[in-house]
């Protein structure tokens, strides 16, 4: 993954209030982290954001190191991609977006320690590829860096997104939903949640993996839960499982695998890197399982980094998303 570029100058952007929630596809103003943005040239932008200290989901971690969590940074990068697309690239607000892939890394957690006031950051955004069909722009790939006091603290590389009209979206989703039994009711797939401690969470409502963990032929499998009552993950109604929930499932399954295969304490793990690719929509009415092989759960003792590769999320035997993740291991990680 490329090292985040150095930015010679960051602009003094507005931080007094959030941007319109419609420009980042959020329903709740409290879930909007961006506060402004500016276009520097045709393919270069900067956005300002304020990272919250008390969000019931994004700040709910058990890590021994009190810095902002990578999931919060992923959401901030997502909001920047939508805001730039609508505000500067000119994508109409009635378009529906699809998140295809990205690779995110926390470069300097020491620059993202949670202090006595919310953290003001700048997201440097660059378009590195354009995706056209019959000459019409239908998507872009972004590279981004999250800056604190002008210095890179995290990077988000190769974020590819596409957009389409709501009419096209409706036709596409109607065809998929017609094949789902039970009318797409996610409650038919629910099982009791895993213990929050085992997945690095405090709040039971932020657990997205069931306790029915299974290990067969050195493959760990978990069941995805769909917590509709979680206002951060389900900020507004959706007709599919959101990418944020799939990302959290990868993170929590990796932590469970670290505990089962390597006897690592989840409280000693801090989410550090995530490379993800979304292949198909996750449907509410189908059981969803995450799988990872024991051979792909590796601890680099020289650097104290846990690598969990080739995680897959499946529905009816079809892979809907895949990921590789890493965690920094702090002292006394072994149980």
**In the prediction, which pLDDT does 178 show?**
81
Interatomic CA distance for residues 50 and 72, integer angstroms: 11
Residues 61 and 144 in one domain: yes
Domain membership flag for residue 234: yes
- Residue 212 inside a domain? The answer is yes
58-85 b/e with 16+ CB inside 10 Å = b? bbbbbbeeebbbbbbbbbbbbbbbbbbb
Are 288 and 210 spatial neighbours (Cβ–Cβ below 8 Å)?
no
The reply to whether 138 and 198 lie within a common domain is no
pLDDT of residue 66: 81
Task: Please tell me whether residues 158 and 52 are part of one structural domain.
Answer: yes
CA gap 33, 117 in Å, rounded: 14
Residue 4 lies in a domain: no
As for how many domains the chain has, the answer is 2
What DSSP string describes 295-308? GGEEEETTTTEEEE
Question: For the chain, how big is the Rg over CA atoms in Å?
Answer: 19
Q: Based on the fold, state whether residues 308 and 184 are members of the same structural domain.
A: yes
- Residues of the chain with pLDDT below 70 are 1-12, 14, 65, 182-189, 331-335
Q: Is residue 60 part of a domain?
A: yes
- Tell me if 28 is assigned to some domain: yes
Same domain? For 310 and 196 the reply is: yes
Point out the domain boundary residue: 164, 190, 217.
Answer: 164
Residues 240 and 156 in one domain: no
* CATH code, domain carrying 318: 3.10.129.10
- 241 lies in the same domain as 160: no
Cβ atoms of 290 and 276 within 8 Å: the answer is no
Domain boundary among 164, 199, 229: 164
Q: What pLDDT is stored for residue 243 in this prediction?
A: 97
pLDDT at 4: 47
One domain for residues 209 and 260: yes
| 34 and 158 housed in the same domain | yes
Q: Do residues 196 and 237 share a domain?
A: yes
CA distance 51 to 22: 19
Residues 70 and 185 in one domain: no
* Closest of 154, 149, 186 to residue 72, by C-alpha: 154
2 in any annotated domain? no
Q: Can you list the alpha helix ranges (DSSP code H) found in 224-328?
A: 243-262
pLDDT digits (tens, 9 = 90+) for 138-171: 999 999 999 999 999 999 999 999 999 999 999 9
Q: What phi, psi does 217 have (nearest 5°)?
A: 55, 45
Judge whether 306 and 298 are in contact, CB under 8 Å: yes
- At residue 227, the pLDDT reads 93
In-domain check, residue 170? no
**230 and 119, same structural domain?**
no
- Mark 140-170 as b/e (b = at least 16 C-beta within 10 Å): bbbbbbbbbeeebbbbbbbbbbbbbeeeebe
Q: What is the DSSP string of 187-198?
A: GGG--PBPPGGG
Nearest to 82 by CA among 40, 125, 53: 125
**Taking each helix axis from N to C terminus, what angle separates 243-262 and 70-84, rounded to the nearest 10 degrees?**
160
- Indicate whether 335 belongs to any domain: no
Percentages (nearest 5) of helix, strand, coil residues in the chain: 25, 40, 35
**Which residue, 133, 164, 195, sits at the end of a domain?**
164
- State the residue range of the domain holding 149: 21-164
């Amino acid at each position: 993954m490329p090292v985040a570029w150095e930015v010679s100058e960051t602009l003094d952007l507005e931080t007094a209030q959030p941007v319109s929630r419609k420009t980042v596809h959020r329903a709740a103003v409290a879930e909007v982290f961006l506060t402004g943005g500016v276009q520097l040239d045709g393919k270069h932008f900067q956005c300002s954001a304020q990272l919250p200290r008390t969000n019931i989901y994004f700040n709910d971690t058990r890590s021994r190191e009190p810095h902002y969590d990578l999931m919060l940074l992923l959401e901030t990068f997502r909001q920047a991609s939508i805001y730039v697309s609508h505000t500067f690239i000119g994508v109409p607000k009635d378009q529906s977006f699809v998140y295809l892939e990205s690779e995110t890394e926390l470069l300097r957690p020491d620059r993202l320690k949670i202090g006595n006031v919310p953290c003001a950051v700048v997201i440097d955004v660059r378009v590195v590829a354009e995706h056209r069909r019959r000459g019409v722009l239908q998507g872009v790939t972004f590279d981004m860096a999250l800056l604190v006091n002008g210095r890179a603290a995290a990077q988000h590389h190769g974020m590819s997104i596409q957009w389409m009209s709501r009419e096209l979206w409706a036709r596409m989703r109607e065809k998929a939903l017609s094949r789902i039994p039970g009318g797409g009711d996610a409650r038919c797939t629910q099982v009791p949640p895993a213990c929050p401690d085992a997945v690095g969470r405090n709040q039971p409502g932020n657990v997205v993996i069931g306790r029915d963990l299974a290990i067969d032929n050195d493959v760990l499998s978990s069941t995805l839960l769909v917590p509709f009552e979680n206002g951060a993950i389900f900020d507004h109604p959706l007709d599919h499982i959101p990418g944020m929930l799939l990302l959290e499932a990868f993170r929590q399954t990796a932590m469970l695998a670290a505990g089962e295969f390597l006897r690592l304490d989840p409280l000693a793990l801090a989410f550090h890197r995530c490379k993800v690719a979304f292949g198909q929509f996750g449907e509410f009415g189908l059981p969803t399982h995450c799988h990872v092989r024991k051979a792909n759960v590796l601890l680099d003792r020289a650097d104290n980094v846990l690598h969990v590769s080739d995680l897959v999320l499946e529905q009816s035997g079809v892979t809907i998303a895949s990921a590789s993740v890493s965690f920094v291991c702090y002292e006394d990680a072994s149980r």
